[in-house]
Amino acid sequence: MKKFGQKLIGVLEKAKDNIMYFFKNNILFTTFIITSLINGCLIRFLTVKNYAAISPILADLAFILFVGSFAYFFKPKNRFKYFMTWSVILTLVCLINSVYYTNYVSFTSFSLLATSLQIVGVSDALETIMELKDFCYIWAPLTLIFVHRKLLKQNYYAKIKSTDKPKVGVLKVLVAAAIVLGFFVSGLTGTDISRLYKQWNREYVVMKFGIYVYQGNDLIASLKPQISPLFGYDTAAKEFREYYDENTREDKTNKYTDIFKGKNVIAIHAESIQNYLLDTEINGKPITPNLKRLASEGMYFSNFYAQESVGTSSDTEFTYSTSLLPASSGTVFVSYWDREYPSIQKFLKEEDYYVFSMHANKGNFWNREVMHKELGYDKFYYYDKDYKLDEMIGLGLSDKSFFNQSVQKIKDISEKHDKFYGLLIMLTNHTPFDAVEDTTDLDLTCKYTKTDEITGEQVEVVNDYLSNTTLGKYFTTAHYADEAIGEFVDQLDKEGLLEDTVLVIYGDHDAKIKRAEYDYYYNYNPETDSKLSSNDPNYDEFTKYDYELNRKVPFIIWTKDEELRKKINKEITTVTGMYDVLPTLGNMLGIYDKYALGHDVFSTDDHYVVFPNGNWITDKMYYDSQNGEAIVFDEDSVIDKDYIAKYTEIAEKEIAVSNDIIVHDLIKKTKESDKVIKGGQK
């Protein structure tokens, strides 16, 4: 036993000496490994905050070792360029994800590179979305440069040249990477691997697999539009058929069926309008009085959620039109535009509607010029092609000018066509919420009176309060957008365009404003002109769940027809989502889509909304699948594991089948297959 102990000690000492020798002769490699690994930990610490997790550290380390091993194919003096290139790449991965997570509470995708042109349009917003912490990752390549220069001065590379054996170096590092990978894989479960493959639960993937494995896997997932026809079609087609066999969307009738059949429809895509704005006042001035009025007179869905992913506005357009969820990787408008999708637009065209869309930005923004044709629009009016650019605000033509010019176009369409459906996409209330103070009367200051300590008189104090905040700018542009909607409705009325028309208004997504801004807004102390301390008894934290639930948007259906308005005038408080629009509004218009993932709100008692990241909400609770946490709305509700398991399974199935439809073009291929079968039967 004593000899065995001595032998073991000898082996360990020899291993230690070998490791020390390796590090001494591979200083640049060691620097690259350590700096990249620390950055991988740092991004998780500052985002998902899983400080004690070993699994993502092992995954990151295995990835870095694998990447670093190939440096040994280069001569010692040239390895710096290789390490530096990878250090910059990995640093950018951390930096970009840090910015993205801060603003969208998710991790970015390589597929966003395909939409890089969209970023150009909002480049002015960068200064409002980046924080000092986002630059903390650049220390890694800077450290590499510092170490490299120091080694040059010591003539280090010449000293190790004679003992350098490239193949041996590569093999040693790959063996080390394999050992680390083995430890990592041994701790994985089937659920872990499934979520890595599906990629929609990004927070979970980063928490389990680390940032580098996540991003590498995402790169592969982003290539699906090119490789998807080659892999997984048979399985996807089988699951697609089984899903709709088990979850038939029945064409049910209710008291709203065909209520708007044959009516014209004007839909307003209200950029970044959130639901809470309808009940918010600043210094006694309502932010959105026109939307508030329309909501009170029409059918108002007050518990309505957008279901967008990285495609933001384009995702909402897609889900609104098709009742499918956004793609798990990339955006449908850019990556999967050449598929067949049933849509409101196509169904109405079958009913002899003329279908058009209008936007105050460029036609190639989100590839709309191409995708709108695929959705079924007869014509897309946009920017300088169809509009006079007489008043520019933010990213393009102002909403007021856009609406003003659109009225005449709609009038011309109404004179040529018996029935029409039109979508108007707003723009002014878009990040970075360029100031429009000169055109609105919203006062963002805080006025209060205090006693002068010397004279004892009451004096009025005016603080800037929201004047210099992103939230304040958002309130201002939202107020402007509301004014534009009010003027637009009045103009339509004057031109007689509301007589046989239904007005549909939806917020496309939340404003993506940081939670800290809301925390300041709700906990402002005018006496100190600052936010209350978290230790103050009056402090009311705006929690993560407050923020998530606050992201709901308005959905309003309104008509001038007083008789019809009496029939629909109602507030719908049950939880609904963007993918419920096609089946719900469609039932009112007399159209039906058997592939809709959403439900006609008035033909089901099971109300829930699934989000693209796997989270879900019902009338009883909101479930965060990223962390396995939930908030229950009604304390008297009976919530058990079976309840959570039921809706988690529903969420996963809906995400999977929707993504399969998109990636594999299943609706088109199923129709083609059915035609072949029917033809054979004849």
Q: How does DSSP classify residue 70?
A: G
Residue 519: the pLDDT is 93
How far is Cα of residue 217 from the mean position of the Cα atoms in its chain?
19
Same structural domain for residues 99 and 35?
yes
What whole-number distance in Å separates Cα of residue 77 and Cα of residue 627? Answer: 46
What values do phi and psi take at 661, rounded to 5? -60, -45
Same structural domain for residues 423 and 486?
yes
Q: Of 222, 249, 282, which closes a domain?
A: 222
Q: Is residue 506 included in any domain, yes or no?
A: yes
Contact between 330 and 225 under an 8 Å Cβ cutoff? The reply is yes
List of long-range contacts for 19-25, beta carbons under 8 Å, 24+ apart: 22/172, 25/160, 25/163
Which residues, 6 or more positions from 291, have their beta carbon under 8 angstroms from its beta carbon? 270, 273, 277, 278, 482, 485, 505, 554, 556
Q: Is residue 610 included in any domain, yes or no?
A: yes
C-beta atoms surrounding 364 within 10 Å? 14
Residue 123: the pLDDT is 47
**79-104 vs 202-222: helix crossing angle, rounded to 10:** 120
Same structural domain for residues 32 and 110?
yes
Same structural domain for residues 250 and 217?
no
pTM recorded for the entire structure = 0.80
Q: Is residue 323 included in any domain, yes or no?
A: yes
C-beta atoms surrounding 66 within 10 Å? 18
CATH number of the domain residue 647 falls in:
3.40.720.10
End-to-end CA distance of the chain: 84
Q: Is residue 232 included in any domain, yes or no?
A: no
Residue 487's SS3 state is helix
Residue with tokens 């058997």: 594
List of long-range contacts for 153-161, beta carbons under 8 Å, 24+ apart: 156/27, 157/76, 157/77, 160/25, 160/76, 161/75, 161/76
Residue 221: the pLDDT is 72
Same structural domain for residues 517 and 661?
yes
Q: Which domain holds residue 21?
A: 2-222
Buried b / exposed e over 514-532, threshold 16 CB at 10 Å, is bbbbbbbbebbeeeeeebb
Q: Is residue 467 included in any domain, yes or no?
A: yes
Which residues, 6 or more positions from 479, have their beta carbon under 8 angstroms from its beta carbon? 287, 288, 440, 442
Residue 468: the pLDDT is 86
Same structural domain for residues 393 and 520?
yes
Instruction: Residue count of the chain, please give it.
Output: 682
Residue 124: the pLDDT is 47
Buried b / exposed e over 206-222, threshold 16 CB at 10 Å, is bbbbbbbbbbbbbeebb
Q: Is residue 228 included in any domain, yes or no?
A: no
- The bridge status of strand 379-382 relative to strand 354-359 is parallel
Residue 10: the pLDDT is 55
Same structural domain for residues 124 and 253?
no
How many structural domains does the chain have?
A: 2
* 165, two tokens: 């054996």
Residue with tokens 């509607």: 353
Residue 525's SS3 state is strand
Residue 122: the pLDDT is 45
Same structural domain for residues 173 and 299?
no
Same structural domain for residues 600 and 635?
yes
As a three-state string, the secondary structure of 304-338 is EECCCCCCHHHHHHHHHHHCCCCCCCCCHHHHCCC
Q: Of 222, 249, 267, which closes a domain?
A: 222
What whole-number distance in Å separates Cα of residue 260 and Cα of residue 283? Answer: 40
Contact between 463 and 414 under an 8 Å Cβ cutoff? The reply is no
Which residues, 6 or more positions from 182, have their beta carbon under 8 angstroms from its beta carbon? none
Contact between 586 and 592 under an 8 Å Cβ cutoff? The reply is yes
CB-count burial class (<10 Å; 0-12, 13-18, 19+) for 385: exposed
Q: How does DSSP classify residue 279?
A: G
How far is Cα of residue 313 from the mean position of the Cα atoms in its chain?
9
Same structural domain for residues 466 and 603?
yes
Q: Is residue 168 included in any domain, yes or no?
A: yes
What whole-number distance in Å separates Cα of residue 396 and Cα of residue 389? Answer: 8
How far is Cα of residue 384 from the mean position of the Cα atoms in its chain?
29
Q: Among the residues of 70-186, which ranges form H helices?
A: 79-104, 116-121, 126-129, 139-153, 156-161, 166-185
* 619, two tokens: 């009338």
Contact between 560 and 493 under an 8 Å Cβ cutoff? The reply is yes
Which residues, 6 or more positions from 339, have their beta carbon under 8 angstroms from its beta carbon? 332, 374, 661, 662, 665, 667, 668
Contact between 593 and 347 under an 8 Å Cβ cutoff? The reply is yes
Tell me the one-letter amino acid at 359: H
pLDDT tens per residue, range 66-77: 998 888 888 877
The H or E element containing residue 502 is strand 501-507
Query: With a cut of 50, which residues of the chain have pLDDT below it?
Result: 116-125, 162
What whole-number distance in Å separates Cα of residue 194 and Cα of residue 565? Answer: 48
- The bridge status of strand 304-305 relative to strand 392-393 is unpaired
* 558, two tokens: 């309104």
Q: Is the dihedral of CA 217, 219, 220, 224 positive or negative?
A: positive
Q: Is residue 483 included in any domain, yes or no?
A: yes
Same structural domain for residues 51 and 86?
yes
Same structural domain for residues 120 and 171?
yes
C-beta atoms surrounding 257 within 10 Å? 17
**312-322 vs 581-589: helix crossing angle, rounded to 10:** 40
